[in-house]
Amino acid sequence: MKTMTNPLTSRADALLRWQFRMNNRLLTCGVTQSGASGFSVITLPHWDVKRSTVETFPSQASALQRHAMIAERLRSAGWSIESYTR
């Protein structure tokens, strides 16, 4: 049986991770370094992991800007920050 690991918690190259909560739902959005020259923004809805997304960016700055955009939209929609790491 193949076991999936959470790329936001199992990787040493995670730069930041924010977990959001709305009612009984959790969603994690984080930035990881993906290879030597790229960065990924990973969005993981815990109630439906099949809807997870991974977006890649050439620079850390562009990945962090995308993360900030996602976080702002979630907070505007009523999500609250449950926890964060950097």
User: In the predicted model, what is the mean pLDDT of the chain?
Assistant: 88
Q: What is the pLDDT of residue 14?
A: 85
Burial 1-16 (b: 16+ CB within 10 A, else e): eeeeebbbeebeebbe
- This model's pTM is above 0.95: no
Q: What is the pLDDT of residue 35?
A: 79
- Express each pLDDT in 36-76 by its tens digit: 779 999 999 999 999 999 999 999 999 999 999 999 999 99
- In the structure, what pLDDT confidence band is assigned to residue 84 with cuts at 50, 70 and 90? confident
Query: Strand, coil or helix: what is 60?
Result: helix
